């Protein structure tokens, strides 16, 4: 199924709504008044409608697209209007992919980024869509081609829409010439709007109504004849209308599910009641978070009543703020313009230091402002903070209410509370602080509150982030590993994919042994884009989850099996199969978390970080409140492939946690990216390291080994990270090979020796003793010989093929002992042991 507006996510900075997004699914609504005079289609008739005789049919379609949803243009770089083959809806095939040959691309004729925008689309004389016999008379007819005009965004490949551009397949459910339902009882059924229908001859028929079942293209549809060529069918008339004019106007429709609910014209109290009712019905995690909406009504409604009575806009804004902050969900937010002055005033003052909490619960100063109050009082870096303003440090932090509220994840709330516990109004005067410098005794100091923001900025998770960062950037680290920073899934989607694919290609072409993905400062965006970018690390389609939404018809949340989200891998040359590490932190939210979670499926990547991601596991929509205030709530309940809530409230938790202690904090303060250091160490250790396999790989028989060799199977050396020169093999000693395997595959294990002729080769082997050990067992007797001529030399290969590699760390050793000096006809080789050690690491 295609959901036109894919699941998007929000970006919150200091609690101020910067961007937000959500799934937009159209719902049934009243038919739009017909603006063009059309002739109704007569039911059960053998003659074409009168209008059909008056013109040769549509040739150029024009119209406009109006949108109110603020997420409509997010990330869109190549918007397109197409003639969309409706084969998916006609056959109810949720995986139908609109054929490229059927796609007719229109022209956007005004500024796409200003609503409404206009378009023009020229119809082909003979289209190339899918034919469907829709009269249900039991006879095989040629059938007709059914099209909608639809808006899409093109991200991958050429100008035409491929499967990934189409959200996996299906039919348009938003911003098309049709009206499509999201009611559970009629989910994704077309119930109105307009179709463009092409009849290849005058013997074809089409429904003239929906029939008793209120569904189109079913057995009970009344049927009428169609003239040959193009006809515009109006589904909002009864019976359906037909327009055969050359230049009809067809507007694309924003469904009710996409348009913003608007409570802005209501009183404060009435708007609050509407808002509360919306949260009560549509908020995705009421039961999961055990939220009592009636208790919230009793708590907050009096404040809205008081603000209304006194006509106090500021009191209203603060009441709205506190209501929003009371909901423990990062995705819930509002436009804080009306209270921005409060934020500025309440955070204007600082004490010249910032704090972090270590894993063992110590609260320490990890930033001292030079010349600031803390430094003047004798506080040094690493000082333990024992009390603040008459409370223990822990109590003061617990009491702090961050302006970046609310939070889904308590861990990340605590991080922000540490920051805001040190912010004060400038009229605060002084704050008594008890601290203990390393190796010293306790000190008590009254620190003046001064106008400084350096300490506040230093503790931000976005400290040092560049405003000019591209959505995707990559490089090869000095260690030789690949590094990709993904800063957003809401930026230019075409640019993101172009850089992404360039990075993957570069890493593959240059045999980069492992890749580190940095998502620590990625506030989210398109969930579909995130899922499909993760797919570049997988070799097959993978179901990653689904989302439940409130159904107005039933009053319950529903999750349609056809809405399962899948990762759709690109072509093989763009699939990276090496080891991967993903770095996360509190700045990784929503779509970023979906990407990071996807990378943990089947143990594909290791997650490294000091803290989990934000824990925002849903999708959102916005609505309007009085005083031009936009509010956002979570309406989609995201789950994993097993149907379990997997991200909300906890996020993606690092599998390798970077400690938070004084040593690490000091290294970070000194400028080291310690999380990246850990990530490089992890990616250098193949998956499976330290795990003892349940069994050794299977050794091939002589016939199987020869088939593998002549069939071109890879040698162990081909898959190894290390590459040695010829000279490295010409002296006694040990060469080690690291062979990481994402999955089991057939590999050849061999010792090769070449000499100038057959006689020399035979003489050489009189002084070479070979031993082969596989996971501690001598398997020399199971090896096979193969002799051949190569480059004018005679060569012997002592080898086997290995398959059925189980997860873990395998060890293979080839020892060639020369008991005398050997000459192969070209060079001398000293006596001694020539050893090759292979560590084969198979992902469990």
pLDDT of residue 16: 30
Q: Report how far residue 721's alpha carbon sits from residue 744's, in angstroms, rounded to the nearest whole number.
A: 17
pLDDT score of 686: 80
Q: Is 775 exposed, middle or buried (0-12, 13-18, 19+ CB in 10 A)?
A: middle
Give the DSSP H/E element, type plus range, for residue 532: helix 527-534
Sequence-separated (6 or more) residues with CB below 8 Å from residue 664: 610, 658, 674
- Name the CA radius of gyration of the chain, rounded: 34
Residue 4 has pLDDT above 90, yes or no: no
Q: Any idea which of 30-44, 537-551, 736-750, 821-835 has the lowest mean pLDDT? A: 30-44
Give residue-wise pLDDT tens across range 157-212: 999 999 999 999 999 999 999 999 988 788 999 999 999 999 999 999 999 999 99
Give me the count of residues in the chain.
844
Question: pLDDT value at position 649?
Answer: 96
Q: What is the pLDDT of residue 255?
A: 85
Q: Is the pLDDT of residue 414 over 60?
A: yes
Q: What is the pLDDT of residue 368?
A: 98
The answer for residues whose C-beta is within 8 angstroms of residue 760's C-beta and 6 or more apart is 794, 823, 824, 825
Q: Could you report the per-residue pLDDT of 481-500, keeping only the tens digit for each?
A: 999 999 999 999 999 999 99
Q: How would residue 402 be classed by pLDDT, with cut points 50, 70 and 90?
A: very high
SS3 label, residue 85: strand
Mean pLDDT value across residues 657-677: 97
| Cα distance from N-terminal residue to C-terminal residue, the chain | 33
pLDDT at res. 708? 96
- Per-residue pLDDT for 254 more than 70? yes
For 284-296, what is the mean pLDDT? Answer: 97
Q: Please name the residues in contact with 466: beta carbons below 8 A apart, sequence gap of 6 or more.
A: none
For helices 493-509 and 527-534, angle between their N-to-C axes, nearest 10 degrees: 10
- pLDDT at position 24 is 30
State the average pLDDT over residues 499-511.
96
- According to DSSP, residue 253 is labeled B
User: What pLDDT, in 10s, does the model give residues 599-642?
Assistant: 999 989 999 999 999 999 999 999 999 999 999 999 999 999 99
Predicted local confidence at residue 14, as pLDDT: 29
The three-class DSSP label of residue 53 is helix
Predicted local distance difference test score (pLDDT) of residue 33: 29
The pLDDT of 681-707, averaged and rounded, is 92
What gap in Å lies between CA 797 and CA 164, rounded to an integer?
Answer: 47
pLDDT for res 48: 39
Residue bearing tokens 């899948």: 566
The contacts of residue 671 (CB under 8 Å, 6+ apart) are none
User: Would you place residue 5 in the very low, low, confident or very high pLDDT band (cuts 50, 70, 90)?
Assistant: very low
- CA–CA distance, 363 with 422 (Å, rounded to integer): 12
| pLDDT-above-70 percentage for the chain | 93
Q: What is the pLDDT of residues 676-689, one digit of tens each?
A: 999 999 998 887 88
Kind of pairing between the strands at 605-609 and 580-583: parallel
Which residues have CB under 8 Å from 550's CB, separation 6+?
Answer: 281, 282, 284, 556, 557, 635
* Residue 104 tokens, joined: 């007719």
| Share of residues in the chain with pLDDT > 90 (%) | 86
Q: How many CB atoms lie within 10 A of CB 297?
A: 17
Report the pLDDT averaged over residues 734-739: 95
User: pLDDT tens-digit profile of 11-65?
Assistant: 333 233 222 222 232 222 222 222 333 444 444 443 334 443 346 899 999 999 9
pLDDT value at residue 838: 98
Asked whether the bond before 119 is cis by omega within 30 degrees of 0, the reply is no
Cα(619)–Cα(466) distance, integer angstroms: 27
> Given pLDDT bands bounded at 50, 70 and 90, which one contains residue 9?
very low
Strand, coil or helix: 165 = coil
pLDDT, position 653: 97
Closest CA to 27 of 490, 432, 554: 554
Q: What is the mean pLDDT of the chain?
A: 92
Task: Name every residue whose Cβ is closer than 8 Å to that of residue 727 and which is 6 or more positions away in sequence.
Answer: none
Q: Looking at residues 719-745, what average pLDDT do you find?
A: 91
Q: Read off the tokens for 632.
A: 């956002």
Specify the pLDDT at position 110: 98
| Strand, coil or helix: 232 | strand
- What does the pLDDT read at residue 721? 83
Pick from 291, 290, 315: which is nearest to 302 by CA? 315
* Burial letters 323-336, b for 16+ CB under 10 A, else e: bbbebbbbbbbbbb
Please report the pLDDT score of residue 55 as a whole number: 63
Peptide bond into 805 cis (omega under 30): no
Predicted pLDDT at 259: 75
CA–CA separation, 772 vs 798, rounded Å? Answer: 10
Give every CB contact of residue 841 below 8 A, 6+ residues apart in sequence: 686, 687, 688, 689, 738, 739, 740, 741, 808, 809, 810
The pTM (predicted TM-score) of the whole model is 0.82
Burial per residue of 520-557, b for 16 or more beta-carbon CB atoms within 10 angstroms, e otherwise: bbbbbbbbbbbbbbbbbbbeeebebbbbbbbbbeeeeb
> What are 310-368's pLDDT values in tens digits?
999 999 999 999 999 999 999 999 999 999 999 999 999 999 999 999 999 999 999 99
Label residue 258 by pLDDT band (50, 70, 90).
Answer: confident
* Pair 210, 216: CB distance under 8 Å: yes
Q: For the CA atoms of 717, 722, 726, 727, what is the dihedral angle to 10 degrees?
A: -140
* pLDDT exceeds cutoff 90 at 465: no
CA distances from 720 to 58, 511, 717 (A): 63, 10, 5
Q: Are 803 and 746 in contact (CB under 8 A)?
A: yes
């Amino acid at each position: 199924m295609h959901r036109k507006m894919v699941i998007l996510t929000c970006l919150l900075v200091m609690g101020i709504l910067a961007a937000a997004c959500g799934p937009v699914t159209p719902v049934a609504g009243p038919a739009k008044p017909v603006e063009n005079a059309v002739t109704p289609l007569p039911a059960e008739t053998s003659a074409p409608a009168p209008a059909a005789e008056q013109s040769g049919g549509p040739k150029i379609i024009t119209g406009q697209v109006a949108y109110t949803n603020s997420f409509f243009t997010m990330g869109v770089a190549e918007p397109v209007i197409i003639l969309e083959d409706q084969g998916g809806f006609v056959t109810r095939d949720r995986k139908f992919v609109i054929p490229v040959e059927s796609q007719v691309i229109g022209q956007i004729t005004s500024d796409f980024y200003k609503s409404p925008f206009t378009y023009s689309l020229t119809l082909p004389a003979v289209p190339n869509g899918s034919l469907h016999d829709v009269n249900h008379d039991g006879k095989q007819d040629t059938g007709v081609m059914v099209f909608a005009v639809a808006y899409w965004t093109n991200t991958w490949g050429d100008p035409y829409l491929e499967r990934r551009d189409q959200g996996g397949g299906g039919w348009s459910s938003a911003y098309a010439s049709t009206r499509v339902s999201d009611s559970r009882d009629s989910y994704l059924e077309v119930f109105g709007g307009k179709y463009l229908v092409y009849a290849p001859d005058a013997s074809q028929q089409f429904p003239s109504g929906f029939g008793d079942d209120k569904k189109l293209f079913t057995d009970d549809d009344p049927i009428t004849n169609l003239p040959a060529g193009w006809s515009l069918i109006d589904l909002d008339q009864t019976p359906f209308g037909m327009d055969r004019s050359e230049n009809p106007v067809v507007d694309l429709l924003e469904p009710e599910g996409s348009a913003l609910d608007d409570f802005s014209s209501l009183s404060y109290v009435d708007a609050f009641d509407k808002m509360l009712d919306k949260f009560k019905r549509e908020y995705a995690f009421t039961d999961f978070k055990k939220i009592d909406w009636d208790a919230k009504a009793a708590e907050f409604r009096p404040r809205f009543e008081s603000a209304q009575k006194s006509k106090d806009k500021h009191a209203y804004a603060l009441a709205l703020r506190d209501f929003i902050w009371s909901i423990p969900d990062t995705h819930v937010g509002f436009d804080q313009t009306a209270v921005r002055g409060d934020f500025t005033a309440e955070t204007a003052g600082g004490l010249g230091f910032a704090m972090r909490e270590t894993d063992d619960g110590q609260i320490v100063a990890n930033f001292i402002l030079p010349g600031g109050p803390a430094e003047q009082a004798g506080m040094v870096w690493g000082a333990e903070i024992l009390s603040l303003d008459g409370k223990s440090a822990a109590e003061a932090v617990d009491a702090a209410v961050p302006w970046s509220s609310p939070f889904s994840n308590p861990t990340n709330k605590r991080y922000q509370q540490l920051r805001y516990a040190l912010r004060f109004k400038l009229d605060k005067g002084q704050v008594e602080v008890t601290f203990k410098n390393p190796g010293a005794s306790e000190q008590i100091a009254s620190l003046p509150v001064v106008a400084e923001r350096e300490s506040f900025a230093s503790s931000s998770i976005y400290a040092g982030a560049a405003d000019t960062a591209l959505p995707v950037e990559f490089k090869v680290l000095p260690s030789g590993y690949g590094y990709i920073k993904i800063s957003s899934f809401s930026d230019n989607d075409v640019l993101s994919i172009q850089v992404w694919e360039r990075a993957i290609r570069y890493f593959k072409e240059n045999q980069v042994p492992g890749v580190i993905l940095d998502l620590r400062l990625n506030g989210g965006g398109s969930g579909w884009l995130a899922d499909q970018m993760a797919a570049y690390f997988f070799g097959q389609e993978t179901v990653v989850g689904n989302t439940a939404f409130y159904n107005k018809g039933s009053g319950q949340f529903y999750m349609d099996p056809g809405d399962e989200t899948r990762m759709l891998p690109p072509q093989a040359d763009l699939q990276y199969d090496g080891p991967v590490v993903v770095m996360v932190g509190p700045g990784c939210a929503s779509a970023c978390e979906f990407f990071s979670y996807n990378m943990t499926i089947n143990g594909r990547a290791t997650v490294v970080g000091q803290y989990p991601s934000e824990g925002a596991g849903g999708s959102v929509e916005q609505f309007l409140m009085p005083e031009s205030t936009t509010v956002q709530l979570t309406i989609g309940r995201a789950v994993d492939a097993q149907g379990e809530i997997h991200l909300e409230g906890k996020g993606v938790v690092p599998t390798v946690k970077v400690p938070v202690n004084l040593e690490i904090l000091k290294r970070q303060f000194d400028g080291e990216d310690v999380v990246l250091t850990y990530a490089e160490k992890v990616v250098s250790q193949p998956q499976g390291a330290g795990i003892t396999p349940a069994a050794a790989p299977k050794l091939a028989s002589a016939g199987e080994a020869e088939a593998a060799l002549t069939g071109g199977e890879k040698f162990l050396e081909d898959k190894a990270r290390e590459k040695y020169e010829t000279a490295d093999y010409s002296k006694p000693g040990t060469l080690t090979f690291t062979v990481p395997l994402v999955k089991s595959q057939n590999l050849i294990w061999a010792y090769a020796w070449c000499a100038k002729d057959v006689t020399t080769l035979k003489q050489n082997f009189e002084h070479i003793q070979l031993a082969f050990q596989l996971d501690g067992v001598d398997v020399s007797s199971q090896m096979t010989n193969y002799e051949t001529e190569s480059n004018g030399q005679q060569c012997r290969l002592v080898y086997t093929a290995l398959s059925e590699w189980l997860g873990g760390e395998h060890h293979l050793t080839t020892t060639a002992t020369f008991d005398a000096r050997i000459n192969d006809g070209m060079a001398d080789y000293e006596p001694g042991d020539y050893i090759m050690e292979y560590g084969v690491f198979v992902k469990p």
